[in-house]
Structures are given as structure tokens and as C-alpha cells.
Amino acid sequence: MSVPDRDPVLRRKLTPRPPPPDPDAPVLSGRAGLLARAFGRSISNAAPLVAEDTALHWKHASLPELLDAIDSDAFVMLLDTGGGPPGLVTMDQQGFATVIEAMTIGRLGVAKPGIRRPTSTDSALLAEILDAALKGLGPEDPVTGFRCARPVPDHRLLPVLLDEIDYDLVALTAVLISGDVTRPLRLMLALPPLPEDPVDPSDTDTPAPSWTEAIEDAVMGASADLRAELGRLRLPLADVLALASGRALTLPLSNLEEVNLVALDGVTHAIGRLGQTRGMRAVRLTGWPGSLQHHTMIDAAPPRAQGAAAGLGTGMSLGAPLDDPPQGDTSEDAQPFTFQGAEPTEPDDPAAGFPAMAPMSLDLPGDD
């Protein structure tokens, strides 16, 4: 065993023990409670590093709060939660550079490494350490089944890759020691909420849906086709007929920022942005067309009577016989109600009682 390999052990022997925790202090706990011990073991097995002065912190945060807590130069990787919403693991730039330097060179230099973007090799090396740490949490911890999925080189994709839910943040702070060199590290896990236990339908006494509810469920469950349009072009007919495989169409740069969701009727119903979710292409809705508020569907009201027809007296009520006098006139000499201004027609005229129609003509092809 060389002298540099014995230094971490001697340092731990000479370092004074921390004071015992205050028994009256509130104890914060949650998932990944053994992350400090599991990460310390995995980092010592993969690199000549020792993690000391570890501390865990728990916090609940929404998606915007989570995005604000991630440094712009931090290493970010998605977590596969086994079918649920994806999680996230981040490591600050200094801790990331320290771990990679110790794994590739075998020691830490005196000078601090510069800021650089993670490569695919760096992601693979860190994924092994993080997977070993998650596996070491123990079978009682539900996070032990999470695994590293894929790195996120561009942080601008995080709003699309992550679901808009509340996350449990587990932050680990530690000091990495190799020989006489010490560097801080900050590791953070963003864990989605645990899935709720399924409810047995036989345990709930829910009444059968009514006919109206059944029709509504059937209509609302019908499929609706939407097209995601990146842009539209107006070309001469000659250019359209000349289109062939490999031909490039130039779109305005402004169209690359928005995607229109168009229904079969050609009406734009929403506006979104391109992105990815769980390794697949996706569109995140950002607004409604014309900067208008989303309209909600209302029940169609039955058509109301627009009033009596032209020429009828104002005292006539709907459904009253034409020969009855208008309401309010109780005199015996009241005249029966008749149409005013209408010319009498012959009883033998079949068109009697129908409004006059404009003349129509229909040109039919002849036999020639």
C-alpha cells in the first residue's frame, strides 16, 4: 500500500469526532435516508476518494422551484422510476470534476479543474457510481429501484422532460478527500411522489351512472385527431409539382419556436413548443391562439320564440286559436282575429297559405 493510499485512513483517525446531535433538535427524514452512507461506499469503491462531513437535507418543491435550484453548469441526469414520472439527479460542477478526475487519473491535483461540459464517457462513469449508491439504500427504501436513465446536456429541455408535479428534494453535502486535497460536493435527488395504492372497485359503493352521464362519458371518450404543424408555406404550383425527395423547404425562424395544434377542421386549437419526454418527441402546450383565454364548452340553450310573426296582433298568445279574440278584450262585440294586409286566395289554389317564393331555374344538359 502506497503512502497516498494510507493518507485518507490516517486523516480519519486524526480528525476529531463531531459533537453528538442534540436530542431536542427536530429530526428530518424521508426517502433516501441512507444516501450519505450508500454514496460514501460507492465513491470509495470506484475512486480513491473518501466522503466526509456528510449531511442530508429534505425539501418539497414544485417544478419551477426545482429548476431554479439547479446550477447552470451542474451535471444533470434523469432517473428511471420504473414506470412512474421520471426523477432527476444533479451534481455540482466542482464535485463532478472531482469525481471524474479521481476516476480517470487516480488522484486529485492541487489546482482546481476548470468548468467543462460532461461527455458521454463522464455520464457513463457517474452512472455506475450513482446506480451503486441507489442500490445500497436497502430494500425498505422505494428509491432503491431507481436507476440512471440518460444525461441532460441542455438544461432548457428540463421543463419538457419533467412532469409538472411536486418533487421531494434530497440534498447531500459532503467533502471529498484524496491525499491532502479536499473538495466539496453537492448531490441532489429530485424524487416524484409515490404512487397511491390502487382502490378495489368492489370496496366502493358507487351508484351506476345515469343515462346522461353515460352518454357524456361516451362522447368525451371519443378520439380526436390533432396535427402538430411547425409552419405553412405558400408556393407556386410549378414549385409544388417539382417537389422531389431531398428537396429542402425553408421555414421562417419564427416558426421554429411555436407549433400549432390543428384539428381536422383546420382550426388551430392550441400553441406549443417542441421537446422530449421519457425519450420520445413531445409538444408542451404554452398558450391558446391569438393570446386568448381557453374557452370552455357551454350547454347549448334551446331556441327561444322570437315573437309573433309579422302582421300578428301583440295580444295574441302562443298556441291560441286564430278565431279567439286577443287577451284583454272581453267584450262580446270583439271581432275575430284575422290576418291584416293579406289578400284572400281562392280555396282551390294549392299554394294558398304558403309564402311567395322566388322563381327558380334549372339548366339540364340536353340530349345533344
pLDDT value of residue 358: 45
Residues 6+ apart with CB under 8 A from 114: 97
Domain span including residue 148: 3-19+26-191
**Helical axes 120-135 vs 35-46, angle rounded to 10°:** 130
Question: For residues 287 and 289, what is the distance between their CA atoms, to the nearest angstrom?
Answer: 7
Is 323 contained in some domain?
Answer: no
Q: Phi/psi at 348 (nearest 5 deg)?
A: -80, -5
Question: At 166, which CATH number?
Answer: 3.40.1550.10
Within this chain, do residues 45 and 125 fall inside the same structural domain, yes or no?
yes
Asked, for residue 151, whether it belongs to a domain, the answer is yes
> What pairs with residue 281 in β-bridges?
276
pLDDT in tens, 68-87: 999 888 999 999 988 888 99
Domain closes at, from 191, 212, 244: 191
pLDDT band at 110 (very low <50, low <70, confident <90, very high): confident
Q: What is the pLDDT of residue 31?
A: 82
- Whole-prediction pTM: 0.51
User: Do residues 283 and 165 share a domain?
Assistant: no
**Cα dihedral 21, 24, 30, 34 in deg (nearest 10):** 20
What average pLDDT does range 9-29 have in this prediction?
A: 55
Letter for the amino acid at 211?
Answer: W
Cα 64 from chain centroid?
A: 13
Inside any domain, residue 64: yes
Number of domains comprising the chain: 2
* 242 domain residue, yes or no: no
Q: Is the pLDDT of residue 143 over 80?
A: yes
Residue 304 resides in a domain? no
Choose one of 191, 218, 247: the last residue of a domain.
Answer: 191
Contact 175, 183 (CB under 8 A): yes
Is residue 173 included in any domain, yes or no?
yes
186 and 268 in a common domain? no
